[in-house]
Amino acid sequence: MRVDYETLAKNIAALAHGETDTVALMATLACEIHHADDRFDWTGFYRVTEPEVLKIGPYQGGHGCLVIPFSRGVCGAAARTQETQLVPDVDAFPGHIACASTTRSEIVLPVFNAAGEVIGVLDIDSNQPDAFDQTDADQLAAILSATFGQL
């Protein structure tokens, strides 16, 4: 099954309508996104809880890392640079943090609030190499902006 981003965006918009709690929104998005595509083995959020620190938030899949500094890993790079990280081969990413040994590729997107501040990252792992592309990045960024960009 491959994600239908148009339908996914509509479903998330309907489910999230009127909700302002970021954790509730993250939980809803993690669930909806995770179950929308067979490529997605781990789907979740890491929240900015103090300067330069991400802590695990709502997710779907096996256990994730509990704390990730901005200085480490793909999630840290996304938070630090405020840019989406498309990683076709996690073993080739300098400083990759292996929370799950089955992860082969990863996409991590920064999550911004209405003030343009990074409040977290959306992390999606796949057991397939080179599982993500620019379409995934663009469509997921649009969903994140529509959901969190008003808070």
CATH code, 102 = 3.30.450.40
Alpha helices in 1-151 (DSSP H): 5-16, 22-34, 73-81, 134-148
pLDDT at 94: 85
Q: Work out the percent of the chain whose per-residue pLDDT is above 70.
A: 100
54-74 tens-digit pLDDT: 999 999 999 999 999 999 999
Rg of the chain, C-alpha, whole Å: 14
| Average pLDDT value for the chain | 96
- Give the total number of structural domains in the chain: 1
- Enclosing domain of residue 66: 5-148
Cβ pair 42, 125 in contact under 8 A: yes
pTM assigned to the model: 0.97
The per-residue pLDDT for range 15-48, each reduced to its tens digit, is 999 999 999 999 999 999 999 999 999 999 999 9
